[in-house]
Amino acid sequence: MLNSGPVWALGTMSGTSLDGVDAAMVLTDGERVLEFGASRYRPYSTAERAVLRAALGLWEGEAVEAAARVVEEAHADLLATFSGADVIGFHGQTLAHDPRGRGTLQVGSGEALAKRLGLPVAWDFRSEDVRQGGQGAPLAPFFHFAAAHWTGEAQPVAFLNLGGVGNITWVDPRKSSPEEEGALLAFDTGPANAPVNDLVAARLGWVQDDGGRLAATGQVDEAVLEAFASHDYISRLPPKSLDRNDFHAVMDRVTHLSDADACATLTALIAATVAAGLPHLPVPVRRILVTGGGRHNATLMQMLAARTGLDVHPVEAVGLDGDMLEAQAFAFLAVRVARGLPISAPMTTGVQRAVAGGRLAGAGEPKADGLP
């Protein structure tokens, strides 16, 4: 069991953009963030990324088992470089997400990591929420609430995460807890980096459109954006969530376009779906704080400002680390899991009541020799 009071938690995140594993330390009691600690990144190799990509959308079979081995090895390699953690928050790798059907699948075993690293590991964060009728995503909002208090926000603010899928969290920092009614609203906005990454990988062999430079040279096909404005997901009331491949048909809409125009159009689609989601927010916000890899895309950031009409800033503007915010979120959530605190609520995932989800592996087991 964890000691009472603040503890050091080590969180990880491997997102649907398939770039690599983030890991970060947070000093927290599960309600407040007191201090941010060390953070590191381990990229997936080209071969590892190919194994993960081959398993996307699958629920079982050899490809899924191979992906799980890659995820566990990559995480163990990275986590073993840290010391001083009392608990680990291990998200795993999402391969499939169908909350109204088969459920949600994140591969990688928390039990295996706990045994290997000799530390308690909180994992399987989404399944219980889905079992109780929630979408199982997004899960970072409870941490966004704590982060808004840490940065001293006084009025409602929006955090926009641009990973493989985009999601937004509206936070009212005047509330006392994240599960309080009116404290949060969160939902996936639409596709983010995943379609752009898939496009440049297929056409050019690139991992991403670095900095949005290719998109900056292209022309946006507004007809493609208009076609997706009528997608039933856009008008659906939140909370709501997406799988990485739910908007995969957009790739067919840009096959006739040049590389630059296709990239510009898919980048603009990210901004357009974010703008379409803003009317859902309970109270309008003046600025959007952007986290995730998308904030490094200067073209995308310009499109966001233009299409939303708001001030758009990377979260570094308020002293946060946008590369590590999701890893920090799962460090924070690990402590909540270990202490039986809720990690999702009706207005974050659509679950009927606040849910204390996740599982804890290896609690109370001795540390392995030679490992932190």
Lowest mean pLDDT among 82-96, 343-357, 358-372: 358-372
Q: What is the mean pLDDT of residues 273-284?
A: 96
Q: Using 50, 70 and 90 to split pLDDT, how confident is the model at 364?
A: low
Asked if 190 contacts 250 with a C-beta cutoff of 8 angstroms, the reply is no
Enclosing H/E stretch for 319: none
Res 18: pLDDT: 87
Residue that has been written with the tokens 């010391």 in this structure: 83
Asked if 128 contacts 147 with a C-beta cutoff of 8 angstroms, the reply is no
Q: Side chain identity at 310, as an amino acid letter?
A: L
Residue 241 has pLDDT above 90, yes or no: no
* CB neighbourhood size of 367 (10 A): 11
Q: Which residue segments constitute the domains of the chain, with CATH numbers given? A: 7-133+357-361 (3.30.420.40), 152-318 (3.30.420.40)
Res 17: pLDDT: 80
φ, ψ for residue 113 (rounded to 5)?
-65, -40
Contacts of 340 (CB under 8 A, 6+ apart): 356
179-218: pLDDT as tens digits: 999 999 999 999 999 899 999 999 999 989 999 999 999 9
Q: How far apart are CA 158 and CA 286, in angstroms?
A: 9
Q: What percent of the chain lies above the pLDDT cut of 90?
A: 86
Residue 174 has pLDDT above 80, yes or no: yes
